[in-house]
């Protein structure tokens, strides 16, 4: 055979082999028992499981209060150690009280004078004298009227002269005029007394308010903690001028750390799933979910938390809802500003359809499994997966309970092939 003939024969053989490789595999019409491959299968089943979800959480104090100077003055003393625990009402700082003590003393003196003026206004010597004069003038008028009554019959009997009668009548008229004038003086004195009393009472009220304000300012020289908690470092040095009128008003910050709050966000879909589950069981939001913290060093925090609060509305920009959980923190391990992963579990979650991880294959971002049907033939099935639990996947769609998925021997099978299914464990 010539060299050219040999090369042509080899080319034809290569073409035939390539065509055979490109053609789809064909299964024989009937497979013998010896040709039937054995595969391990797992029966998909509903399993009670606890699925944990993790979220990035931000730790904040239950209550944080800024301690600020409410009056202006020089800081005399700091009475706590930076970073220590303080009690509500505990004295933290002392501002120089001398100018405020002087203001209190002056206000007390002004109040004492105002009260004395009020007593004098109520006594009103002028009114007393005016009333005494009126009594005297009324007595004079009464005597004049008696004289006139005595003289008048005598004048009619010509026992006294007309001049004496006129003089008696004049005295009555003069005495009556004096009485009217005295009455006017009394009325004016009464008006003056009412005005003076009102002014004195107003002065007493004003000076009382001034004293109260001075005493309040004096109390502000003793800066106390409003809550139990952990205080940070002092923000000002002793001897500094502090107060609203200066550049320094913040003295320190106190945070209540037990319990402590952790904020994180749920997606809208996760929130709806949780709420529907709660509504179906009619349970309270606080009791059904369990909250755990994974700290930045990877350690699990020793205390479990409880649901405390969900924001009023979903954030339209992120599609998430802010949630708050509360954790005990007696050891003060958790501090405001820390970040931790919040692990949320639902112990009462319904049973889920589970299959081993090794049964799942991935192709171009889609997950599928090989299922052995009732005739022991292989079927390719696309599935939608949920969370991973240990060595298994939760199947959300694509499988039914009781169906057999191939876990071992996947490399030996193709869709449509008849296999011998051997039950395997997870």
Q: Give the model confidence (pLDDT) of 203-245 as tens digits.
A: 999 999 999 999 999 999 999 999 999 999 999 999 999 998 8
Q: What share of the chain has pLDDT > 70, as a percent?
A: 86
pLDDT band at 349 (very low <50, low <70, confident <90, very high): low
Residue 107 DSSP SS3: helix
pLDDT band at 29 (very low <50, low <70, confident <90, very high): very low
Segment among 117-121, 252-256, 322-326, 367-371 with least mean pLDDT: 117-121
- pLDDT above 60: residue 34: no
For residue 403, the Cα-to-chain-centroid distance in whole angstroms is 51
pLDDT band at 13 (very low <50, low <70, confident <90, very high): very low
- pLDDT above 80: residue 270: no
Distance CA 410, CA 200 (A): 105
Burial readout 5-21 (b: 16 or more C-beta within 10 A, e: otherwise): eeeeeeeeeeeeeeeee
- pLDDT above 70: residue 17: no
- pLDDT above 60: residue 14: no
pLDDT at 18: 45
**What is the SS3 string spanning 336-367?**
CCCEEEEEEECCCCCCEEEEEHHHCEEECCEE
Contact 80, 86 (CB under 8 A): yes
Q: What share of the chain has pLDDT > 90, as a percent?
A: 41
> What integer is the mean pLDDT of 401-424?
90
CATH fold of 27-48+351-423, please? 2.40.420
pLDDT at 280: 58
Q: Give the model confidence (pLDDT) of 149-180 as tens digits.
A: 888 887 777 777 888 878 888 888 888 888 88
pLDDT at 32: 52
Residue 60 DSSP SS3: strand
| Stronger pLDDT, 87 or 129, i.e. the higher one | 87
Q: Give the model confidence (pLDDT) of 188-208 as tens digits.
A: 877 777 888 888 889 999 999
Q: Which CATH class is domain 65-92+226-253?
A: mainly beta
CATH fold of 52-60+256-345, please? Elongation Factor Tu (Ef-tu); domain 3 (2.40.30)
Please give the backbone phi and psi of residue 67, each rounded to the nearest 5 degrees, phi first: -90, 115
Q: Where are the chain's structural domains?
A: 27-48+351-423, 52-60+256-345, 65-92+226-253, 101-219
Mean pLDDT, the chain, whole residue set: 83
Which H or E element spans position 270? helix 268-281
Q: pTM higher than 0.85, yes or no?
A: no
């Amino acid at each position: 055979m010539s060299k050219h003939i040999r090369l042509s024969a080899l080319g034809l053989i290569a073409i035939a082999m390539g065509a055979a490789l490109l053609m789809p595999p064909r299964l024989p019409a009937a497979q013998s028992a010896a040709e039937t491959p054995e595969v391990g299968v797992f029966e998909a089943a509903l399993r009670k499981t606890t699925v944990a979800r993790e979220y990035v959480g931000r730790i904040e104090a239950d209550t944080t209060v800024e301690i600020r100077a409410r009056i202006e003055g020089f800081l005399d003393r700091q009475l706590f150690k930076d970073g220590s625990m303080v009690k509500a009402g505990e004295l933290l700082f002392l501002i120089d009280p001398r100018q405020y003590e002087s203001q209190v003393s002056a206000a007390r003196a002004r109040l004492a004078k105002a009260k004395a003026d009020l007593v004098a206004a109520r006594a009103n010597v002028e009114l007393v004298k005016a009333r005494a004069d009126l009594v005297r003038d009324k007595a004079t008028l009464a005597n004049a009227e008696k004289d006139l009554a005595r003289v008048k019959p005598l004048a009619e009997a010509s026992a006294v002269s007309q001049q004496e009668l006129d003089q008696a009548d004049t005295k009555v008229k003069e005495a009556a005029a004096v009485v009217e004038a005295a009455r006017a003086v009394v009325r004016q004195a009464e008006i003056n007394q009412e005005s003076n009393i009102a002014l004195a009472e107003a002065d007493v009220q004003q000076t009382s308010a001034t004293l109260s304000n001075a005493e309040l300012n004096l109390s502000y020289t003793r800066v106390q903690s409003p809550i139990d908690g952990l205080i940070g470092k002092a923000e000002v040095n002793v001897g500094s001028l502090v107060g609203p009128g200066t550049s320094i008003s913040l003295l320190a910050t106190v945070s209540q750390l037990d319990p402590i709050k952790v904020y994180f966000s749920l997606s809208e879909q996760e929130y709806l799933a949780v709420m529907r589950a709660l509504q179906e069981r009619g349970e309270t939001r606080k009791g059904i979910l369990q909250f755990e913290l994974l700290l930045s060093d990877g350690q699990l925090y020793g205390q479990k938390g409880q649901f405390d609060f969900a924001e009023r509305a979903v954030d339209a920009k992120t599609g998430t809802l802010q949630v708050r959980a509360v954790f005990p923190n007696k050891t003060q391990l958790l501090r405001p500003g820390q970040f931790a992963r919040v692990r949320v579990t639902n112990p009462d979650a319904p049973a889920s359809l589970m299959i081993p991880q090794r049964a799942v294959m991935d192709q171009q971002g889609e997950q599928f499994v090989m299922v052995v049907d009732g005739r022991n033939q292989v079927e390719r099935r696309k599935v939608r997966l949920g969370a991973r639990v240990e060595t298994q996947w939760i199947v959300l769609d694509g499988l039914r309970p009781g169906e057999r998925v191939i876990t071992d021997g996947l490399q030996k099978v193709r869709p449509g092939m008849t296999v011998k299914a051997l039950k395997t464990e997870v």
